[in-house]
Amino acid sequence: MSEIQALPKTVEEKKNEFQSVFLAYIIFASIAAYTCQPLIKFANPSVLGTGGVLLGVCIVSLYRFIVLGSSKKSLIFCYVTAMLGTSAIFLCTNHALEASKKNDAQCLILQTKFLADNSPDEKAAAAFSALGCRPQYPEKIDYFDRFR
């Protein structure tokens, strides 16, 4: 029996394959950016930017591998930059979560001071606003600490 050999893919087929991978990446990144939006103000911008640049370099090397047919080194470089970029973003997110938790605790202290006094304190209200505080509920903080 003769073996059926696959015809080599055309450049258009390779571009379509890359576009399907890239579309999935865009959807994932859009959902992640939307859900992590409240943490952006607590994130380290240089680490977040470095992670984004590394992921962009990963996309370029993946394009070179899939569409242009470059060597396996391009794919290995893509894996390395993807791991470094993802690690940087996860570290930045972890730091932002901790900073957000500390900010929420400070906001709760300011809120209790602000609400405990019968006379409104303009300094506490200004600090509450400057920290970007939102109303805090003590049971919310205790509830999420159970999962640690």
Whether the model pTM is above 0.75:
no
* pLDDT at 63 (0 to 100): 83
Give every CB contact of residue 59 below 8 A, 6+ residues apart in sequence.
Answer: 22, 25
Nearest to 82 by CA among 28, 125, 14: 28
* pLDDT at 145 (0 to 100): 56
- Count Cα atoms within 13 angstroms, Cβ side, for 41: 8
Please tell me which residue, 66 or 102, carries the higher pLDDT value.
102
> Does pLDDT of 84 surpass 90?
yes
Helix 45-66 with 11-35: angle, nearest 10 deg? 160
Domain coordinates of the chain in residue numbers? 11-145
pLDDT in tens, 13-69: 888 888 888 888 889 888 988 988 888 889 999 999 999 999 999 988 888 888 887
* pLDDT at 135 (0 to 100): 80
